[in-house]
Structure 1
Amino acid sequence: MTKLYLISTGPGDADLIAPRSVKAIGECSDLVAYGLYLDLLGSVCDGKTHHDLPLGEEIGRARLALDLAASGKTTALISSGDIGIYAMATLVFELLDMQLQGKENHPEWLDVDIEVVPGISAMQAGSARIGAMLGHDFCTISLSDLLTPWQTIEKRLHSCGEGDFVVSFYNPRSKKRDWQINTARDILLQYRPANTPVLLGRQLTREDESITITTLDKLDAADVDMFTLVSVGNSETRHIENGDKEWVYTPRGYSKKL
């Protein structure tokens, strides 16, 4: 049986790539990915056949990876962060589901052995950079309405506010979508204080990383781009400072036992 690895490479720092991901890449002859991800991996990808498809070609990448694996080539489909979180793994399984429903004509895909290799997501990297922001119940919401209707996203934003979840926003802004993050801010302000801590983590763990800690009322689309993770604390999230050090954490209630 041929093998397809769905590989996570973490947020960008080579030290944060799971050893299992590196080992799996070593077992592959063909690598399918957005080219930037292969560049970040560096020499790990040497000697492999690269299949670099641009942003926007996600369906093409998933199909190609399945085709290569079905043809007998040990293949890796690679995503940054965790491939199972807003990434390529779900698309591969959706294609397999469609094949089982008779909506695709690729029975050979069903003979492929698939292994998903997890990784560190941007929200985990961001939380670690500033302390322990995800220390209590949290959720993630993608603000992209390209595949999900805005009405659905807005419903989830209100549910997040009512549930008082720490929330990490993925896809907060692009050139064509510049209003959603401010709308999300305004919705959350209905449920939590204006001084709620907010993390803006751009290019997390990479050479040009920038970390900004601000507050919910000051969150603005002008400070966010497609490379930025936005995490908003809940009503109890704390921003503490000690000289030139500052941390953000979300308590779990241990103060009652201290």
Structure 2
Amino acid sequence: MTKLFVMGMGPGDLGLVAPNATKALDICTDWVAYGYYLELLGELSQGKTFHDLPLGEEIGRARLALTLAAKGKPTALISSGDIGIYAMATLVFELLDQQLQGNENHPEWLDVEIEVIPGISAMQAGASRVGASLGHDFCTVSLSDLLTPWETIDKRIHAAGAGDFVISFYNPVSKKRDWQLNHARDVLLQYRPANTPVMIGRQLTRPDEEITITTLGELDANAVDMFTMVTVGNSESKHIVNKDQHWLYTPRGYSKKL
């Protein structure tokens, strides 16, 4: 039985690729991914066969990975960050589910052994860069309404605001979608103060990384692009400065024991 490794490569820094992912990448002859992620893997990719499908071809990418593995080729399906968070892992299992229901005509997929390997997510990488922004209860919300109705997303933003969660926004803007982040800001201002700290992390852990700590009141979609993740603190999150170092942390309540 041939194996399909469904893996997250982390945020971009080769030093943050998990050891199990590195081993799997070495085993696999065929790598399936968006081309930019293959480029980031650099020296690890020597001698591998690339299958580069562009953005928007996620379903095709998952189908191809399953088919290659079914043909006996050890295959890696690769996403940045953690492949189980807003990424390709769910598509693999949706396709298998469809096959089991008789809605696909690829019985060979059911003979593929699948191993999912986690990776460090963008929100974790961002949190590490600024200190401990995810130190207490947090959630993630994707602002892309490509697959999820905006009414559902809006409801989740309100719920996260009311629950006082630290919120990491994935897919905050795109070339065709630039208003949702500012709407999310305005919703959260109903639940927490304008001076709530916010981290804007662009190209996290990559050579052109840019990190800004601002406030909820000053957050603006014009400062964000599709390679950016935004984390909004909760009502207790703090931005502190020590010499030239800026830190953002969310206390858990240990002050009562100090």
TM over 0.5: yes
In structure 1, the residue corresponding to 2:217 is in which secondary structure?
A: helix
The aligned residue for residue 162 of structure 2 is 162
CA-CA distance at 1:246 after TM superposition? 1.4
Between the aligned partners of 2:120 and 2:65, the Cα distance in structure 1 is 22
What amino acid does structure 1 have at the position aligned with 2:234?
Answer: N
Q: State how 1:246-257 maps to structure 2 within 5 Å.
A: 246-257=246-257
The aligned residue for residue 215 of structure 2 is 215
What amino acid does structure 2 have at the position aligned with 1:109?
Answer: W
What per-residue deviation string (whole Å, max 9, x for no partner) do you get for residues 93-150 of structure 1?
A: 1111111111111111111000001010000000000000000000000000000000
The aligned residue for residue 193 of structure 2 is 193
Q: TM-score, normalised by structure 2?
A: 0.99
What per-residue deviation string (whole Å, max 9, x for no partner) do you get for residues 203-252 of structure 1?
A: 00000000000000100010010000000000000111122111110000
The aligned residue for residue 114 of structure 2 is 114
The aligned residue for residue 58 of structure 1 is 58
The aligned residue for residue 29 of structure 1 is 29
CA-CA distance at 1:9 after TM superposition? 0.6
What amino acid does structure 2 have at the position aligned with 1:161?
Answer: G
Between the aligned partners of 1:113 and 1:8, the Cα distance in structure 2 is 17
What per-residue deviation string (whole Å, max 9, x for no partner) do you get for residues 2-44 of structure 1?
A: 1100111100111111011110011111110111111110121
Between the aligned partners of 1:213 and 1:130, the Cα distance in structure 2 is 8
What amino acid does structure 2 have at the position aligned with 1:76?
Answer: A
Between the aligned partners of 1:6 and 1:37, the Cα distance in structure 2 is 14
Matched, 1:224 2:220: no
Aligned residues: 258
Between the aligned partners of 2:95 and 2:69, the Cα distance in structure 1 is 14
Between the aligned partners of 1:45 and 1:3, the Cα distance in structure 2 is 18
Between the aligned partners of 1:70 and 1:142, the Cα distance in structure 2 is 32
In structure 1, the residue corresponding to 2:213 is in which secondary structure?
A: strand
Q: State how 1:12-91 maps to structure 2 within 5 Å.
A: 12-91=12-91
The aligned residue for residue 11 of structure 2 is 11
The aligned residue for residue 130 of structure 1 is 130
Between the aligned partners of 2:246 and 2:38, the Cα distance in structure 1 is 34
Between the aligned partners of 2:228 and 2:29, the Cα distance in structure 1 is 33
The aligned residue for residue 203 of structure 2 is 203
Q: Which structure 2 segments of 5+ residues have no match?
A: none
Between the aligned partners of 1:100 and 1:188, the Cα distance in structure 2 is 42
Q: TM-score, normalised by structure 1?
A: 0.99
Between the aligned partners of 1:239 and 1:157, the Cα distance in structure 2 is 23
What amino acid does structure 1 have at the position aligned with 2:58?
Answer: E
Between the aligned partners of 1:43 and 1:13, the Cα distance in structure 2 is 12
CA-CA distance at 1:156 after TM superposition? 0.2
CA-CA distance at 1:191 after TM superposition? 0.2
What amino acid does structure 2 have at the position aligned with 1:196?
Answer: T
CA-CA distance at 1:195 after TM superposition? 0.3
Q: Which structure 1 segments of 5+ residues have no match?
A: none
What amino acid does structure 2 have at the position aligned with 1:111?
Answer: D
Between the aligned partners of 2:200 and 2:24, the Cα distance in structure 1 is 32
**Cα RMSD, aligned residues only:** 0.6
In structure 2, the residue corresponding to 1:217 is in which secondary structure?
A: coil
In structure 2, the residue corresponding to 1:116 is in which secondary structure?
A: strand
The aligned residue for residue 238 of structure 1 is 238
Between the aligned partners of 2:125 and 2:91, the Cα distance in structure 1 is 24
The aligned residue for residue 139 of structure 1 is 139
In structure 1, the residue corresponding to 2:147 is in which secondary structure?
A: coil
Between the aligned partners of 1:20 and 1:92, the Cα distance in structure 2 is 20
In structure 1, the residue corresponding to 2:41 is in which secondary structure?
A: helix
What amino acid does structure 2 have at the position aligned with 1:45?
Answer: S
